[in-house]
């Protein structure tokens, strides 16, 4: 069964917000992925989004594209990413892991084979960027039948009708894309986010995480004030890019730890 | 226009695809991130309202007639047919259109939709540069800002077309990610669109992408086949035995096939690029050698590895160098209504030279694939059989490639 809802409920009862870091599996090397996941947890991650590399990441900005390209140079496959989660689970049985990626690697493996392997490895949910609700009814059924969550994106442009459609087949949490554009871009329209999130939460009945554009402690803290969870991706990948094999884990831990602290201090202040 | 009355039983077709969500059987659809859905919904609603609007139709037809030079003629290639020694080969001369290819038909239609939606900026992806040139042309004609995304490898290979686009006032952005070719240019154009959706219209060049693009591009290109339907009876008193067109993304093929779908006696044959041979793995034949998957917003046949990663394609013709294909072709293949074959680089080049020498027509390398297959097929058919080939573009852009293959440098 998915660990996502119990994790988010526990945080809510403590009055804390979830921190959800994203890394691309296999970047810079598959052997780095499990150590990075453990370091993210040590730095305060509540859920990990693990990116599955794809040759044509249409919704991603340059930073995550580069991470995908680095992983694909080493031929990292969906099966290997799932195996990494199984490896992570040998010592961590509590932190939820969501696989995030594109439809084609899943369809190439076969939806049933994917769901069975992911469930067996201890994956908790799947977020398929190019599966909007109208194209993923069967996929969502298969994933949820295995006890895992199907996480959907919502955008500032999503209509009430679409929000309702997502509420009907989504589970776990909603990933609200806080700006127009691709991952890693531009500035967040905070008042707009603050206005939309309560409406979405009420319509969907799920916690709402916000991502796309979180750069530092200040932006994370601002979002944590209005959302249930904060997702941070491109900034972590930049840290991985700019570090060497000796200091990568320490630098990622310091970065995420700082963001965790900034988020938690906001809660104390509130 | 000399249009003949068509028998009612072939005008009314039972074929009514795509469905409301853009599906052609299991293919097509809207496989995009949520951030693009609102823009696609807006486009679909606008196009639905415009497509049967008499004023819009009239303006489109006016532009096709006076700016593009339509209808394009059909030419009986007698000496080419004699060389093949069998069926008569007829060429639909899309190469005579303004800008030298069929691409302009679709671009005019989409630019008119953009204008109607009040979008002052258009973007496009291009491989060989033909769609980019067509888009830059219409942007200049309508006074719109134009940005064309082109893989940096293609920018190097197609320097003349890059310059043409710049002359027309477009900005050409070299794309440095992925394999630096057409598919990556498409990814980058999608990223531009999702970022600038309020003032930007994305003009897709082929019958691929998310709904409504495959349908909309097909509709605009179907002027090709609609003309053939009255032109062929004028020439031979009947429709052809087969219609043959090259298939990369598949827009020129869809444009000539679509009006013929209800004619069961007309075979529809799509010709893919076999590159260095299907067995070599160095080709662009997604229908002949690929398998279904999801890319660029639709489900269709794709060239992909065992892990679902899209693989690099090869063809002497840059316009066929694409790892996917329009979803309606995928459906026509599965249902058997159309047949798909492949012609390799050497066969296409031989057909290119043959048409130059027998008819005084220099075809695009893309169209040369269709001609090559027509030559093969004609040889085994009686002399009164008729093959209609879509000569989708002219070959001026390919001078460097052909010269290089012949060991000549300018």
Residue B385 burial (CB < 10 Å; 0-12/13-18/19+)? middle
The CA dihedral of A180, A186, A187, A192, to the nearest 10 degrees, is 0
| Through-space distance between the first and last CA atoms of chain A, rounded to whole angstroms | 34
Q: At residue B350, does pLDDT exceed 80?
A: yes
Q: At residue B376, does pLDDT exceed 90?
A: yes
Short-list B325, B295, B297, CA closest to B32: B297
Q: Report residue A194 as tokens.
A: 């603050």
The pTM assigned to this predicted structure is 0.95
Annotated active-site residue A60? The verdict is: yes
Residue from B26, B34, B43, B303 to probe the interface with A (highest A Cβ count within 10 Å) = B34
Distance CA A181, CA A178 (A): 9
Inter-chain residue contact B191 with A181, CB threshold 8 Å: yes
Q: At residue B307, does pLDDT exceed 70?
A: yes
Q: What are the tens digits of pLDDT across the range B10-62?
A: 444 579 999 999 999 999 999 999 999 999 999 999 999 999 999 999 999 99
Position A179 scores a pLDDT of 66
Helix (H) or strand (E) holding B174: strand B171-175
Position B13 scores a pLDDT of 54
Inter-chain residue contact A180 with B29, CB threshold 8 Å: no
Phi then psi dihedrals of residue B393, to 5 deg: -160, 165
DSSP letter assigned to residue B310: B
Position B11 scores a pLDDT of 46
Distance CA B99, CA A74 (A): 43
Phi then psi dihedrals of residue A223, to 5 deg: -70, -35
Q: Is B308 on the interface with A (CB under 8 A)?
A: yes
The residue-averaged pLDDT of B303-313 equals: 96
pLDDT band at B409 (very low <50, low <70, confident <90, very high): confident
Q: Is B306 on the interface with A (CB under 8 A)?
A: yes
Residues 6+ apart with CB under 8 A from A83: A121
Distance CA A80, CA A24 (A): 12
From A60, A124, A228, A239, the catalytic residue: A60
Q: Report residue B68 as tokens.
A: 């593009």
Taking residue B292's Cβ as centre, other Cβ atoms within 10 Å add up to 18
Q: What are the tens digits of pLDDT across the range B176-210?
A: 988 888 999 999 999 999 889 889 999 999 999 99
Position B7 scores a pLDDT of 47
User: Where do the domains of chain A lie, and which CATH numbers do they carry?
Assistant: 4-269 (3.20.20.70)
Residues belonging to chain A: 270
Inter-chain residue contact B191 with A177, CB threshold 8 Å: no
Nearest to A56 among B21, B41, B310 (CB): B310
> Helix, strand, coil shares of chain B as percentages rounded to 5?
50, 20, 30
Walking along chain A (270 residues) 10 residues at a time, the average pLDDT comes out as 97 96 98 98 98 95 94 97 98 98 98 98 98 95 98 93 94 87 68 91 95 85 93 96 96 97 72
Per CB-CB distance under 8 Å, the chain B contacts of A180 are 35, 194-195, 197
Residues 6+ apart with CB under 8 A from A257: A43, A44
Distance CA B207, CA B102 (A): 13
DSSP B179-208: TSSHHHHHHHHHHHHHHSTTTEEE---SS-
Task: Count CB pairs under 8 A between chains A and B.
Answer: 120
Q: Report residue A103 as tokens.
A: 């439809």
The residue-averaged pLDDT of B304-316 equals: 95
CA distance A132 to chain B (A): 6
Residue from B290, B308, B330 to probe the interface with A (highest A Cβ count within 10 Å) = B308
Position B156 scores a pLDDT of 86
Q: Is B399 on the interface with A (CB under 8 A)?
A: no
DSSP B229-282: HHHHHHHHSS--SEEEEE-SS-HHHHHHHGGGTT-TTSEEEEEEEEET-GGGT-
Distance CA B72, CA B95 (A): 9
Position A185 scores a pLDDT of 59
Inter-chain residue contact A56 with B39, CB threshold 8 Å: no
Interface ipTM:
0.95
Q: Is the Cβ–Cβ distance between A40 and A24 less than 8 Å? A: no
Taking residue A206's Cβ as centre, other Cβ atoms within 10 Å add up to 22
The residue-averaged pLDDT of B120-129 equals: 94
The residue-averaged pLDDT of B277-287 equals: 96
Helix (H) or strand (E) holding B295: strand B291-295
Q: At residue B118, does pLDDT exceed 70?
A: yes
Short-list A53, A48, A31, CA closest to A106: A53
């Amino acid at each position: 069964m998915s660990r996502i809802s119990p994790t988010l409920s526990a945080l809510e009862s403590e009055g804390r917000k979830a921190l959800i870091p994203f890394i691309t599996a296999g970047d810079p090397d598959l052997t780095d992925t499990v150590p990075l996941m453990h370091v993210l947890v040590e730095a305060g991650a509540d859920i990990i989004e693990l990116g599955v590399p794809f040759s044509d990441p249409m919704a991603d900005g340059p930073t995550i594209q580069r991470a995908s390209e680095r992983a694909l140079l080493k031929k990292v496959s969906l099966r290997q990413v799932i195996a990494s989660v199984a490896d992570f689970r040998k010592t961590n049985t509590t932190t939820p892991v969501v696989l995030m990626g594109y439809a084609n690697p899943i369809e190439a493996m076969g939806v049933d084979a994917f769901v069975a392997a992911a469930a067996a490895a201890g994956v908790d949910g799947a977020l398929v960027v190019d599966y909007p609700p109208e194209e993923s009814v069967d996929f969502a059924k298969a994933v949820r039948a295995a006890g895992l969550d199907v996480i959907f994106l919502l955008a500032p442009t999503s209509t009430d009708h679409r929000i309702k459609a997502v509420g009907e087949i989504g589970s776990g949490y909603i990933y609200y894309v806080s700006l127009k554009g691709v991952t890693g871009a531009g500035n967040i329209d905070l008042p707009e986010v603050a206005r939309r999130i309560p409406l979405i939460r009420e319509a969907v009945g799920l916690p709402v995480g916000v991502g796309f554009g979180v750069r530092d402690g200040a932006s994370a803290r601002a979002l944590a004030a209005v959302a249930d969870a904060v997702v941070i991706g491109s900034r972590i990948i930049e840290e991985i890019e700019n570090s060497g094999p000796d200091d990568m884990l320490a630098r990622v831990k310091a970065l995420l730890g700082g963001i965790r602290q900034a988020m938690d201090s906001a809660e104390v202040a509130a | 226009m000399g249009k003949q009355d068509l028998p009612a039983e072939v005008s009314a077709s039972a074929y009514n695809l795509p469905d409301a969500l853009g599906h052609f059987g299991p293919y097509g659809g809207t496989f995009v991130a949520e951030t693009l859905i609102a823009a696609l919904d807006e486009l679909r609603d606008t196009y639905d309202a415009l497509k049967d609007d008499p004023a819009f139709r009239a303006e489109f037809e006016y532009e096709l007639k006076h700016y593009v030079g339509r209808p394009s003629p059909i030419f009986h290639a007698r000496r080419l047919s004699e060389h093949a020694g069998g069926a008569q080969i007829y060429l639909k001369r899309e190469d005579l259109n303004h800008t030298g290819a069929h691409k302009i038909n679709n671009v005019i239609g989409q630019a008119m939709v953009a204008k109607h939606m009040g979008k002052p900026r258009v973007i496009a992806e291009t491989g060989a540069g033909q769609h980019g040139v067509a888009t830059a042309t219409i942007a200049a004609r309508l006074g719109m800002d134009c940005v064309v995304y082109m893989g940096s490898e293609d920018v190097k290979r197609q320097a003349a077309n890059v310059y043409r686009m710049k002359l027309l006032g477009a900005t050409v952005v070299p794309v440095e990610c992925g394999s630096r070719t057409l598919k990556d240019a498409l990814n980058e154009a999608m990223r531009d669109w999702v970022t600038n959706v309020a003032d930007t219209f994305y003009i897709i060049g082929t019958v691929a992408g998310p709904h409504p693009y495959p349908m909309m591009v097909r509709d605009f290109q179907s002027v090709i086949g609609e003309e053939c339907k009255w032109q062929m009876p004028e020439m031979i008193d009947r429709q052809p035995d087969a219609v043959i067109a090259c298939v990369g993304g598949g827009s020129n093929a869809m444009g000539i096939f679509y009006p013929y779908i209800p004619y069961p006696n007309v075979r529809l044959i799509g010709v893919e690029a076999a590159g260095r041979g299907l067995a070599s793995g160095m080709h662009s034949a997604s229908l002949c050698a690929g398998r279904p998957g999801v890319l660029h917003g639709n489900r269709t046949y794709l060239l992909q590895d065992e892990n679902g990663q899209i693989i690099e394609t090869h063809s002497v013709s840059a316009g066929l160098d694409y790892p996917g294909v329009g979803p309606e072709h995928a459906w026509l293949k599965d249902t058997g209504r159309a047949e798909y074959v492949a012609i390799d680089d050497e066969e296409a080049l031989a057909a290119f030279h043959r048409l130059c020498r027998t008819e005084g027509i220099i075809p695009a390398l893309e169209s040369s694939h269709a001609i090559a297959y027509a030559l093969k097929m004609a040889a085994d058919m009686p002399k009164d059989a008729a093959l209609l080939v879509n000569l989708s573009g002219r070959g001026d852009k390919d001078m460097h490639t052909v010269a290089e293959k012949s060991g000549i440098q300018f």
